[in-house]
Amino acid sequence: MLNISLNSVGLKIDTSKYSSFQRLKKRSVSKLLLKILIVSGVLAIASLFLPWRQNIRAKGYVTTQNPYDRPQNVMSVISGKIEEWKVKEGDLVKIGDTLAILSEVKEEYMDPDLIQQTYKQVNAKNNAANAYLQKIENLNQEYQITERDQVIKLSQNELKIQQVNLKIKAGQLELEAANTKLANAINQLSRIETLYEKGIKSLTDKEQYQLKLNQAAAKESYWINTISARETEVNELEQNNQAIINQYQNKLAKLKSSIESTRSEYYNSIGEQEKLKSKLNKIKRRSEQFVILSPITGTITKTKKNGIGEIIKEGESLTTIVPQKFTRAVELYVSPIDVPLLKTGKKLRLLFDGWPAIVFSGWPNSSYGTFGGVLTAIDNDISENGKYRVLVTEDLDDSPWPDEVRVGGGANGIILLNKVPVYYELWRQMNGFPADYYTANEEKNIKTKVPFRKVK
């Protein structure tokens, strides 16, 4: 009876009289399914109280701890033309091995005698500088001689002044004597004239005394003129002192100017000489750069320039060398919310791409194929991907990293934190709360299984 009609007959039939209707009403319920549901519910509730190891998951890649352990691009310091390759890709080279030989391409350096010519220029400038230095020494000697000549000339002039002053003093004495004689001659002539008038003395006697008076007056005039001339000479000699000073000062100034000018030429020669020496050193250094040497020990992996005769510019990469021995590390990128939980020295577990591993992040003791690491460095600035970069090195107290792990391969890091119940971890995840801090002593109880490795 489907009861799809508006005129149902279900109310008109007594179903209790029919056994088939009674069996349809008795629906069977599976007890096994009910047991499974009950057991599953109990286990699910019990699992919420299981311990769970909080952790931070981060992705990254394998790199090297030291910058010089990473693949090195061998660059040319100068521009040149490739003349010969000494290696090929896959070759193992050591530090200092010759990789390639270049030749000159710049016109200014193509002179085969450039080094010898530059040497000659340096020597010529050196000789010029020495000549200027000798000239300075000669001018200094001339300057000193001129200073001594000035002193001598002034001393001679002073000596002449002293001599003339002595003559003036002697003339003054002679003048006093002439004045005395003149006075005596005047008195004698006066007495003779008196006696001549009385007729006692003759005219001849009078004329003799007149002559003596004239001689005494002439003598006096002579010494007056002589003293005056000598005083004029003293004035001229005193003025000559200043003339001597001016004359020699002019000579000394010219000599000083010549010395400074020569010194300037000397320094210019020294400067040009140093420029030529610098140019010579650059030429020598450039000639050494034509041989490209290996900076490290490693394997040639890629040559950027092929064939012979190609031109390479300065700073352009010639080939790449991968170091033979290096210290591996892992770069991981952690979300900013988890960075406060990290500190250097913290230990963690690593999974490498291509290496078999079974990981139970909440139960690290049950993990398989993970390797130990130590957090070495944490960047202070955020990366371009919006996360912070941390550097992880190999844990020497744990199993060594597999040799098959290569630089550039992917890696996943599990940074283990506090032990909490599962229900707490679910609640934290749903609310987006950060993980809890934990003590470093809990790391000692973590044991992980490592896959079998062949012993070399």
What are 288-309's pLDDT values in tens digits? 888 888 888 888 888 887 778 7
Q: Look at 75-89, 107-121, 428-442 and tell me which has the smallest mean pLDDT.
A: 428-442
244-292 pLDDT per residue, tens: 888 888 988 999 999 999 999 999 999 998 998 888 888 888 888 888 8
Mean pLDDT throughout 118-139?
Answer: 89
Q: Which structure tokens are listed for 185?
A: 């001659």
Is the separation of the CB atoms in 263 and 255 below 8 Å? no
Q: Which amino acid is at 240?
A: N
CA distance 260 to 269: 14
Domain definitions of the chain by residue range: 53-69+326-445, 72-104+290-323, 114-264
Q: Give the separation between CA 265 and CA 29, rounded to whole angstroms.
A: 119
The topology (CATH level 3) of 72-104+290-323 is OB fold (Dihydrolipoamide Acetyltransferase, E2P) (2.40.50)
Residues paired with 51 in a beta bridge: 421
Q: What is the end-to-end Cα distance of the chain in Å, rounded?
A: 82
- Please identify which residue in the block is written with the tokens 């030529």: 276
3-state DSSP assignment of residue 21: helix
Domain topology for 114-264: Helix Hairpins (1.10.287)
Percent of the chain surpassing pLDDT 90 = 5
Residue 333 has pLDDT above 90, yes or no: yes
Q: Note the pLDDT tens digit of each residue in 374-430.
A: 989 898 888 888 899 999 998 888 888 888 888 788 888 887 777 777 787 778 778
Is the pLDDT reported for residue 454 higher than 60?
A: no
DSSP per-residue letters across 338-405: GGGG--TT-EEEEEETTS--B--TT-GGG-BS-EEEEEEEE-SS--TTSSEEEEEEE-TTSPPPPTT-
Dihedral of alpha carbons 427, 432, 438, 444, sign:
positive
Question: What's the pTM?
Answer: 0.52
Which tokens go with 272?
Answer: 């040009």
Give the residue from 416, 423, 424 showing the smallest Cα distance to 447: 416
In CATH terms, 53-69+326-445 corresponds, of 3.90.1530.10, 1.10.10.10, 2.40.30.170, 3.20.20.100, to: 2.40.30.170
Residue 4 burial (C-beta neighbours within 10 Å; 0-12, 13-18, 19+)? exposed
Closest CA to 415 of 380, 387, 443: 443
- Tokens standing for residue 157: 């002039």
Percent of the chain with pLDDT over 70: 85
Single-letter amino acid, residue 169: K
Helices in 198-326 by DSSP H: which ranges? 203-288
pLDDT bucket at 372, cuts 50 / 70 / 90: confident
**Residue 318, number of CB atoms within 10 A of its CB:** 18
**DSSP symbol at 316:** -
